[in-house]
Amino acid sequence: MTENAWTRWPSREALGRSGTTRPRRMLAWVVRLLVLALLLWSAFSKRHVGLWEALAAAAAVLLAALVSRAFFRTTYAHRLVPSLALMGVLLGIAVAAEATGFTGPALVIWCGCGVGALERLPLGAAVPVASVALASYSAFNNDVWLTTAATVAGMALAGYVLRLDAEARGSAQRLLAQERAARAAEAESAALAERARIAREIHDVLAHSLSAQLVHLEAARLLIEGGADRERILERVVAARGMARDGLAETRQALSALRGELTPLEDFLAELVSTAEGAQVTVTGERRPLPAEASQAVRRVAQEALTNVRKHAQGAKVTVWLDYSEHEVRLDVRDSGGEAGELNGSGGGYGLLGMRERAELLGGSLDAGPGEEGFVVTLKVPV
């Protein structure tokens, strides 16, 4: 046994009542009350003891009970000197009880001191205290030596078993506390991740939609200040209204995605390319539902890629290819090149940086750059 084992206190979880079942606590109180009743009965049952002597004995029994309770508290606080002092008081009460003829209470106190020391004190202090208490019990017990030896061995074993049981209970309590802390940390991490996902969804939808509306409204303002004709101004206002309508629809889609109410990815892409002139979509591989994050990544990248085509290659032909493989899904958006559109100065919105960030968060990748004719955006997401 190492030196640390001799000087180490039982844990506070082991010395406390936490983790103890209600029936077990009730049983412990019943045992304590029975022992107290036995000691009081022993004090009053002596026929040669007068009233004052019996009252003094009863007071000594109650004092022993209070000292025992204080011993439980000091050992729970891991205070060695007060614990040893209280144990000395209990041993002194037992000696006084034996000297005045109350052998029964003295024997019970000695046994209790031996068991309590082994259960609650560091072994370096528990072994000497238990040895003194159980040796005193052996010296004044009137049973045959074999019975006394068996009783002493049983008491020592009981104290050590109670110590091991308390340590096991304390370890279980610490593991339970660690598990609860881990679950709380996991729940907090999940909440933060969900907040980040919601923030990305809001940014993806609103930043793009509002920036496009701002361009049209700013153009309308300049036209009004320049005295342009009504038709040109109305064209810009109608375009801004269309952007607002599209933004509202995308916001509703984002909210549906957050609630897990996503339309099939193929249907979404088909509807998306239907609004773009000269665009077509092709789906290969075995179609299957995707996790919400992966599905949203494909949708957002497709939206941004088509928006970039309208900005930088107006009138270009666009091919959207979605491929389901065994371990990943791949989205490929290619355009044939063209002239910059009217939204070229509206800013990046979500942009390539945001698309790449979304892909990397899922363990995937995004490549964007010039192709044979125009621009190519390729997204790969593991599923």
Domains identified in the chain and CATH numbers: 3-142 (no CATH), 263-383 (3.30.565.10)
The Cα 63–Cα 89 span in angstroms is 10
**Distance of CA 208 to CAs 23, 142, 255, 300, 307, Å?**
64, 95, 16, 11, 9
pTM above 0.85, yes or no: no
Q: What is the per-residue pLDDT for 22?
A: 67
The Cα 362–Cα 349 span in angstroms is 21
Which residues, 6 or more positions from 167, have their beta carbon under 8 angstroms from its beta carbon? 10, 11, 14
Q: What is the per-residue pLDDT for 348?
A: 43
132-141 b/e with 16+ CB inside 10 Å = b?
A: bbbebbbeeb
Dihedral sign (CA 64, 69, 71, 72): positive
Q: What are the contacts of 149-156 at 24+ separation with CB within 8 A? A: 151/111, 155/111, 155/114, 155/115, 156/114, 156/118, 156/130
Q: What is the per-residue pLDDT for 323?
A: 92
Mode of pairing for the β-strands spanning 318-324 and 279-285: parallel
Mode of pairing for the β-strands spanning 375-382 and 365-370: antiparallel
Tally the residues of the chain: 383
CB atoms within 10 A of CB 16: 15
Which residues, 6 or more positions from 292, have their beta carbon under 8 angstroms from its beta carbon? 257, 260, 262
pLDDT tens across the length of the chain (383 residues): 444 778 888 877 777 766 566 676 676 667 666 765 665 565 555 545 556 666 776 787 788 888 888 988 898 888 889 989 998 998 888 888 888 777 777 878 888 888 888 888 888 888 888 888 888 888 887 777 788 788 888 888 888 888 888 788 778 878 888 888 888 888 888 777 767 767 766 676 676 677 777 877 888 888 888 887 888 888 888 888 877 877 776 777 666 666 665 678 888 888 878 766 778 888 898 888 888 778 888 888 888 888 778 777 777 788 899 999 888 999 999 887 766 554 444 444 446 677 787 788 888 899 888 877 778 899 999 87
For the CA atoms of 163, 167, 169, 173, the dihedral, rounded to the nearest 10 degrees, stands at: 150
Q: Is 317 helix (H, G, I), strand (E, B) or coil?
A: coil
The Cα 11–Cα 19 span in angstroms is 13
What is the rounded end-to-end Cα distance, in angstroms, of the chain?
Answer: 53
69-97 b/e with 16+ CB inside 10 Å = b?
A: ebbbebbbeeeeeebbebbebbbebbeeb
Reduce the secondary structure of 39-99 to three states and give it as a string: HHHHHHCCCCCCHHHHHHHHHHHHHHHHHHHHHHHHHHCCCHHHHHHHHHHHHHHHHHHHH
Q: What is the per-residue pLDDT for 343?
A: 45
